[in-house]
Structure 1
Amino acid sequence: MVDRGASALSPPDDWPAHPDPVLALNRMGSFDWDLDSGTLHMDAQAHEVFDVRPEDFDGRPESLSVRVPSADGHRLDTLVARAIKDGSENYGTYFRVRRRDGTLRWTHTQGYIRRDGTGRARRVIGIVRDATQELGDIEARRERAFQDEALRRQTDIVQLTTAALAHARTVDDVVDVLQDAQGLPHLGADGFVMSLVEGNRVLMVAERPEGSFVHGTRVSGVDDDYPMSEVVRTLSPCFIESPQDFAERYPSLWQRLGDLTVKAAAYLPLIAQGRPIGAIGLFYSDRHGFSPDARNVLLALGSSLAQSLQRAMLYEQEMDLAESLQQAMLPRTIPSVPGCDVAVRYRAAPLGGSLGRDIGGDWYDLIPLPGGRVGAVIGDVQGHDTHAAAVMGQLRIVLRAYAAEGHPPATVMARASVFLHELDTDRFATCLYAEADVTTGVVQVVRAGHLDPLLRLGDGTCRHVPVEGGLPLGLSAEFGSLAYPVGTLELDPGSMLVLCTDGLVEEPGADLDDGMRALADLVASGPRDVRDLADRLIEVADERRGDDDVALLVLSRRALDTPRVGGRVRRHVAPGDSRALAETRRMIRAAVRAWGDEDHADAVELVADELVTNALMHTEGSAVVTLRFLSGTDRRLRVEAEDTSSALPRRRDAGDSGVSGRGLCLVDTLADAWGVEARGGGKCVWAEFVMPHD
């Protein structure tokens, strides 16, 4: 208390001031402090406030210093001295009083400073009162407001965490969300660790910040004396409200916490369908205890996290099943084809842009065929689910079977469409089937709503090859449009044929034609090795992060070391299909040249054209033209034209002005031999050419 020292002056005549009875009735004590003499007079209620017996108080302010804690006394003296010095009329403040039993209570004082004519302070007259109840009410309101705010923050934490985990589809996604820079604010903690249960073990899978876990506890047993193990074992949360609580309940763990400034912790079991799937521990460096509301909010947080984890685990199980199904449906191995280098790749679709893979119906296949031929297939079943993968597997096997039976490419595609339609599924599929004769380089292509193939030539240039196509598989059968046009291209030694699904081309917001041009540029500038090129294309697809899966097949033709005697090319020609006739001529010319008989190329092409034209004009239905080698001592090349009519062709004299009747004469003149064979319900007209020996 301020000590003005003793004075020789006598107290004023009206000293001490008499307290108003109203003050006493309101339990307020009064005092009169003569600054000149330093004498302090207190009434009975003031003695009660300071808990001082009247006989024990000597009237000096400093005698009360034992009742006022030093910090409060210093603050009070400073306040009174400043008020006296700066001319203030009054002052007021709260301070604590230590009662005789040692307990503290809050007190409020208010003083009025009386001055003389010169402005000098002469007396301080004031009141003191017990303010314990008053400040208690204020503190209670503050505490309630603080708790309400804390509860609101905790509720927001649950909402933020739930929102952040809403798009997490895998366990890794959940871990990434929690370990993200915003993970701790979402959880409302200074640090956390999360574990998953695997059998009788508790495995640590996430922490934030790094080093939040206790060394040696990354893997623990369910029966170990650790809080994570305990909540898994008991399915009950564990709240640690102080360092002392931590040290008493888990002494061995507390000793190993090291530099972690943990003042409180909450360990929550992650329960799904009545069984523990994991646990999370939240650490706080500035928290003391957990109110019932805070505990309920944390339990809600644990429930939300457990639901996300369970959803992620179920999704991963479904994905594992789907991927296993898809891998079983795709070819286990790609057969080796003499004269060809082949690379295949499959890339599953990403989940939402960054996070995992989705299952789809894309597929590839390579089918060895008799006569040095090979069938290359690329396809895409509509949808991204296990049903799409299942349909894909059935369709791949059926298409492979039809091709292996020896059906022409157009027939293979038509029958596959009928099969898919009869599956009674709402899915359709796009597909491209390319049948290549490795010896001649002739490739017959059938397209069912799929992307055109890409052809990279030996000089490195690349272009997409337009192929007239039909409806997707399933739809063509439903709408009765099973006629698939057949395109022909030549694959020279060193050239590459690139077949892919639209996941490699399409990009959101981009035109498909632009995507095809970009892919052609990428193939042109890519590696010459088929495997390296396939890896590069898939790498670019990953970088682009497209939302569709990708199937890719790259086939490159090598030059054979020695010419092979044998081989066969076949083409189906429908009535009125002038393009098919032109493609047939081109196919035959390319095959004859590839087999090393440049001199006979024109003659063979002309004879084949006459045989096919004859079949189309004089019979009903289509014709099938086949060019193949015959085994034997002579190297003979045979052209066959099959139709469904049993009527035999007749050689006629056309006369000088006749238009018809010259066909068989031409065949007889150009071929070394020709004839007719019965074939089931139809016939085959053939012509043979003796090829020169090397």
Structure 2
Amino acid sequence: METKSRRRSDRIVLPVFGLAAEYAIALGLFAGTSLIVAALRFSFPGSETFLFVYVPVIGGTAYVGGRRASLALAFLAVASTGYYRFATAFDLTPGNLLSIGLFALVAVLTALAPARLRDIERKAEKADEHLMLLADASALLGEAFEHETSLKHVAHLTVPRFADWCAAELVEDDATRVVALAHADSAKGSVLEELYRSYPRAPGVPGDARQVVRNRQPELVNEISNSAGEATAQDPQHLSLLGALGTRTILRVPIRHNEEIDGVLAFGRGYSRPRFDSADQMFAEDLGRRCGVAVALGRAYTHQRAIAESLQRNLLPQRLPELPAVAVSARYLPSEGDIGGDWYDVIPLPDGQIALAMGDVAGRGVDAAALMGQLRTALQVLALEGYPPSAILQRLDTLLHQLPLTQMVTLIYMVVSTESMRIRFTNAGHPPPLVVAPDRTTRYLVEGGTVPLGVRMPFIPAEAEVPIPAKSTVVLYSDGLVERRGVGLEHGLAALEGVVRRGPIDPEAVCTRLVQELAAGRSMHDDVALLALQVGVETAAAGPLER
């Protein structure tokens, strides 16, 4: 009769494989009794259950025993409980051999599993980092209008997250120009700059991007040896700089948009980091394509902006008129984004009076500049015909509603009489003009207001006429001078009034001071147009027209 035994000497210590996984399998051969043991770990909330399966080699019957154990005990794999079936001989039957083979195969595969899992985990973490980098780069590329600024942002973003250094070059007339350099080490950053400045066409490290442009394919240099540096260096200083940079591996990818190669992104890593691999190359190529889209859009924007700016400047007065007993000066400052529709005009009228106009077309770009030109021409014709201010603005409103693309326009038009020292004006939604007297007292002309032109409501004629002291200065301006994001308009108007009071009131001095104190040194989100006229002066003078 077979007997069951449970003795301390029968405890079996087995190696455990795969503890880093969600399960563990222990496999061992108890030579004294020819016993194979497999242990499976199952995780439950608050505890772990280890199920030990004892399979005797001889006899063909399996006995199962269960127990709860800590992870440390499982690591030791001490089978201290259970039921055993002992045998005195080792019978190599096909069934027993198959059992041994299956358990051995499970043991080998389980032993290899942690390394494989760690490799998969590393690749997943790397893919996640690449995706986060691409997302961050896409956000940066979408923020700036200027493509060179975007490339600088991307270069600093990828260092040191992806590489020790990065260089961005753009293709220009069959050559390349470096537009961005970044290094994780500021000292080596100076070395990188010196290499690109003194040896821009030298092969080797950091290398020549022309090969990538010619081949239209990425280039991966996995290991840069000392002999390679010596062979490519042009002189001892070049070799010294290459050694100081300490680059181990280089990856270059084209900045590509459709079939156009617009430039090259180069990345380098030193000896403290792993070499670039295929996953890194795929990431860099994807980044190069995104940069290519940004470069193409940036160049298109620059081209369109140049056209709009040229159109707008040609539509503005090329020079200010020289008028008897009148001094006049003007400024125009374009915004950092798209060109707007701000404009001004000074029109000598046939009856000796002077017409002033300041307008702002809603919208940006070429359309706004073209509409501004149409309005300026129409206003000049109507003014020379002698129409009063309210009649001129009413006719311009009618014209706007006849155009294919109706835009809202703010506009102030005034007629200044140098004989009677009076101003007659209509203001269609524009910031109020400021009058400063010789004694520095100021007054905003808030009368004569009506709705902006081009809106979906009937134009309401309005007009005002006010006297002004002799030698007073009238200041017209667009909202870009006084508006600030997050700040009420009243603060900008108070600032303008304060600046005008603090110094000479001749038009040139007023314009210069206003630009310096209210516009210079800040981000220009909107165009600024400025026009100042002083009446009753003894000498005729026209200030410089700065744009």
What secondary structure is seen at the aligned counterpart in 1 of 2:302?
helix
Letter of the structure 2 residue corresponding to residue 511 of structure 1: G
Give the 3 Å change call, closer, same or farther, for CA 140–217 of structure 1 in structure 2.
Answer: farther
The 1:295/1:325 distance shift into structure 2, 3 A limit, reads same
Distance 1:183 1:542 in 2: 33
1:290 aligns with 2:243: no
User: What is the match of residue 374 of structure 1?
Assistant: 354
Supply the RMSD in Å over aligned alpha carbons.
3.3
- Structure 2 matches for 1:154-169, cutoff 5 A? 154-169=130-145
The 3 A distance-change label for structure 1 pair 258 and 149 is: same
> Are positions 1:483 and 2:461 aligned together?
yes
Whole-Å separation in 1 of the counterparts to 2:344 and 2:351: 22
Please tell me whether the aligned partners of residues 204 and 218 of structure 1 are also in contact (alpha carbons under 8 angstroms): no
Distance 2:382 2:175 in 1: 53
Deviation at 1:451, TM superposition (A): 2.2
State the alpha-carbon separation in 1 of the partners of residues 367 and 425 from structure 2: 28
Give the conservation status (yes or no) of the 8 Å contact 2:309–2:339: yes
Find the partner of 2:424 among 440, 444, 455: 444
* C-alpha distance in 2 between matches for 1:161 and 1:375: 52
Shift of 1:217: 6.0
Query: What is the DSSP-based 3-state SS (H/G/I as helix, E as strand, rest coil) of the residue aligned with 1:173?
Result: helix
Quote the Cα distance in structure 2 between the aligned partners of 1:217 and 1:342.
51
Using the alignment, how far apart are the partners of 1:275 and 1:152 within structure 2? 29
Query: Matched residues in 2 for 1:178 and 1:294: separation?
Result: 16
Partner SS, residue 439 of structure 2? coil
Amino acid in the other structure paired with 1:513: E
Cα deviations across residues 50-69 of structure 1 (Å, max 9, x unaligned)? xxxxxxxxxxxxxxxxxxxx
Pair 524,205 (structure 1): closer, same or farther in 2 beyond 3 Å: same
Query: Which one-letter code corresponds to 2:477 in the other structure?
Result: C
Inter-CA distance 21–383: structure 2 relative to 1 (3 Å threshold): closer
The Cα shift of 1:531 comes to: 2.3
Distance 1:358 1:218 in 2: 38
State the match for 1:184 in structure 2.
Answer: 159
Q: Equivalent residue of 1:166, what SS? A: helix
Q: Which moved more, 1:170-179 or 1:359-368?
A: 170-179
Of residues 360, 363, 368, the one that matches 2:343 is 363
Within 5 A, what are the aligned runs for 1:113-512? 141-178=117-154, 180=156, 182=157, 184-185=159-160, 188-209=162-183, 210-211=189-190, 212-213=192-193, 214-216=195-197, 220=201, 226-244=207-225, 247=228, 251-252=232-233, 255=239, 257-285=242-270, 286-349=272-335, 356-475=336-455, 479-481=457-459, 483-493=461-471, 495-512=472-489
CA spacing shift, 1:159–1:448, aligned 2, 3 Å: closer
Would the aligned equivalents of 1:448 and 1:469 in 2 still touch at CA under 8 Å?
A: yes
Which residue of 1 is the match for residue 525 of structure 2?
547
Larger radius of gyration: 1
Q: Secondary structure at 2:376's aligned position in 1? A: helix
Q: Which moved more, 1:195-204 or 1:144-153?
A: 144-153
Q: Which residue of 2 aligns with 1:557?
A: 535
Amino acid at match of 1:512: L
Query: Displacement of 1:548 after TM fit?
Result: 2.8
Q: Tell me if the contact between 1:409 and 1:486 (Cα under 8 Å) persists in the aligned partners.
A: no
- Work out the CA distance in 2 between the residues paired with 1:174 and 1:218: 25
Question: What's the counterpart of residue 121 of structure 1?
Answer: none
Whether contact under 8 Å (1:239, 1:267) holds in the other structure is yes
Amino acid of the structure 2 residue aligned with 1:449: G
Report the CA distance between 1:275 and its aligned residue: 1.2
The Cα of 1:216 is off from its aligned counterpart by: 4.8
Shift of 1:141: 4.9
Question: What is the DSSP-based 3-state SS (H/G/I as helix, E as strand, rest coil) of the residue aligned with 1:160?
Answer: helix
Could you tell me which amino acid in structure 2 is paired with residue 456 of structure 1?
V
SS at match of 1:196: strand
CA–CA distance in structure 1, aligned partners of residues 248 and 127 of structure 2: 19
Structure 1: segments with no counterpart, 5+ residues: 1-19, 27-91, 93-131, 350-355, 563-694
Deviation at 1:202, TM superposition (A): 0.7
Amino acid at match of 2:346: L
Taking the aligned partners of 1:403 and 1:331, their CA distance within structure 2 comes to 16
Q: How many Å apart are 1:453 and its aligned residue?
A: 1.2
Structure 1: distance between partners of 2:417 and 2:218: 71
- In the other structure, the counterpart of 1:35 is none
Aligned to 1:125: none
- The TM-score with structure 1 as length reference comes to 0.56
Structure 1 residues 277 and 185: alpha-carbon distance in aligned structure 2, compared to 1, 3 A threshold: same
Q: How many residues align?
A: 426
Q: Are residues 408 and 138 of structure 1, via their aligned partners in 2, closer, same or farther at CA, if it must alter by over 3 Å?
A: closer
Query: What's the CA shift string for 1:417-451, capped at 9, x where partnerless?
Result: 22222224321211111211234432222222222
Identical counterparts, % of pairs:
28
Pick aligned residue for 1:513 from 490, 495, 498 = 490
Specify whether residues 414 and 137 from structure 1 end up closer, same or farther in structure 2 by C-alpha distance, changes over 3 A only.
closer
Amino acid at match of 2:245: L
1:308 deviates by 1.9
SS in 2 for 1:483: coil
Kept in 2: contact 1:189–1:283 (CA 8 A): yes
Shift of the alpha carbon at 1:327?
1.4
**C-alpha contact 2:229 2:242 (8 A) present in aligned 1:** no
TM-score (norm 2): 0.70
Moved more, 447-456 or 437-446: 437-446
Q: CA deviation at 1:244?
A: 2.3
Q: Structure 1 residues 451 and 407 mapped into 2: Cα distance closer, same or farther (>3 Å)?
A: same
Say if 1:268 and 1:279, in contact at 8 Å, map to a contact too.
yes
Deviation per residue, 1:136-190 (Å, 9 max, x gap):
776555444434433332332222222222212212421441355x55245x111
How many angstroms apart in 2 are the aligned matches of 1:326 and 1:395?
12
SS of the equivalent of 1:528 reads coil
Contact 1:200 1:221 in 2 (8 A): no
How much does 1:412 deviate? Answer: 2.6
SS, match of residue 306 in structure 2: helix
Tell me the residue number matched to 1:124. none
Asked whether the equivalents of residues 337 and 525 of structure 2 are also in contact (C-alpha less than 8 Å), the reply is no
Mean CA deviation greater in 297-306 or 421-430: 421-430
Structure 1 Cα separation of the partners of residues 512 and 304 of structure 2: 28
Q: Offset at 1:479?
A: 4.8
Equivalent-residue separation in structure 2 for 1:549 and 1:498 (angstroms): 17
Tell me the CA shift for residue 543 of structure 1. 4.6
User: How far apart are residue 529 of structure 1 and its match?
Assistant: 3.8
Q: Which amino acid aligns with 1:231?
A: V
Larger relative contact order (CA 8 Å, sep ≥ 6): 2
TM superposition shift of 1:472: 2.2
Is 2:502 the counterpart of 1:525? yes
**CA–CA distance in 2 between the matches of 1:533 and 1:218?**
51
